[in-house]
């Protein structure tokens, strides 16, 4: 089993200025019980048993995930602090098995650079109404990026002007380009529902922006914290190579 010390407070960059940070876990690393073993122990509670050695423990964990006995995986929890643009959160909150608490624009003023600037522009898919397919030419992308920067600058200038005129923060933010604004959230879920999130958001047909966060969580946190579960997840659940 792998040590998970060092994962807490680890921060991984995502997109142009976003990030994911693991702030807490259950079981906590100080407990001396790995998350994979916590799953096994939860499964064996029916028989008041615990670890029977790595080989038998791993075999049981694989059996649980293969046969969709998922409740033991709910005994492991991850709590992240995430900075992401609103168009990402708009999709993330659809996973209602997560618990969220978000930064509020009513209390915290936004900075001029609190906007997502994509490094490429995607074409609308002709067959899938909610997906993209391919990219625009470099010239068109550069023109759009410049236009977006100017749009952000104008919106933020109007936002600051409204604040200076005494408009409440909760209303002044109407001038900001809403879907592009970065927000910082706390986001917590258990390992079972985290795997469901990853199953849906890692494939290539997921929107790029949320897929980038799913990839960071999968590679940098989920797999190091739960290597047996991640291996079983790859084998029995995930369709992504």
CATH number at residue 17: 3.30.1360.170
Long-range contacts (CB closer than 8 Å, 24 or more residues apart) made by 202-206 = 202/238, 202/240, 203/239, 203/240, 204/240, 205/128, 205/131
- Over residues 39-62, the pLDDT tens digits come to 999 998 855 456 788 999 999 999
* Catalytic (active site) residue 201: yes
- The confidence score (pLDDT) of residue 49 equals 58
Is pTM beyond 0.75? Reply is yes
**Cα–Cα distance measured from residue 87 to residue 209, given in angstroms and rounded to the nearest whole number:** 8
Same domain as 79, residue 30: yes
How many domains, the chain? 2
Angle at alpha carbon of residue 233, lines to 228 and 234, rounded to 5°: 100
- The confidence score (pLDDT) of residue 73 equals 98
Which of 180, 206, 225 is the C-terminal boundary of a domain?
180
Point out the catalytic residue in the list 83, 173, 201, 211: 201
Same domain as 155, residue 119: yes
Same domain as 164, residue 222: no
- Over residues 144-158, the pLDDT tens digits come to 999 999 999 999 999
Same domain as 187, residue 176: no
Range of the domain at 139: 111-180
Give the pLDDT band (50/70/90) at residue 190: very high
């Amino acid at each position: 089993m792998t040590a998970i010390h060092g994962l807490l407070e680890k921060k991984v960059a995502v997109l142009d200025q976003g990030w994911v940070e693991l702030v807490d876990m259950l079981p906590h690393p100080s407990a001396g019980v790995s998350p994979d073993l916590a799953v096994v122990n939860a499964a064996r509670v029916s028989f008041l048993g615990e670890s029977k050695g790595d080989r038998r423990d791993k075999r049981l964990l694989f059996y649980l995930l293969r046969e969709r006995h998922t409740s033991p995986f709910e005994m492991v929890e991850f709590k992240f602090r995430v900075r992401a643009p609103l168009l990402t959160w708009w999709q993330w909150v659809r996973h209602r098995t997560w618990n969220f608490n978000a930064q509020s624009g009513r209390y915290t003023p936004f900075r001029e650079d609190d906007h997502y600037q994509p490094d490429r522009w995607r074409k609308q898919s002709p067959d899938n109404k909610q997906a993209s397919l391919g990219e625009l030419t470099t010239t068109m992308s550069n023109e759009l990026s410049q236009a977006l920067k100017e749009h952000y600058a104008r919106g933020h200038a109007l936002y600051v002007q409204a604040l200076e005129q005494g408009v409440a923060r909760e209303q002044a933010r109407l001038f900001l380009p809403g879907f592009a604004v970065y927000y910082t959230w706390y986001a917590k879920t258990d390992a079972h529902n985290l795997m469901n999130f990853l199953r849906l958001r890692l494939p290539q047909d997921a929107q790029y922006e949320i897929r980038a966060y799913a990839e960071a969580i999968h590679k940098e946190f989920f797999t190091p914290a739960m290597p047996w579960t991640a291996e079983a997840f790859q084998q029995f659940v995930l369709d992504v190579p």
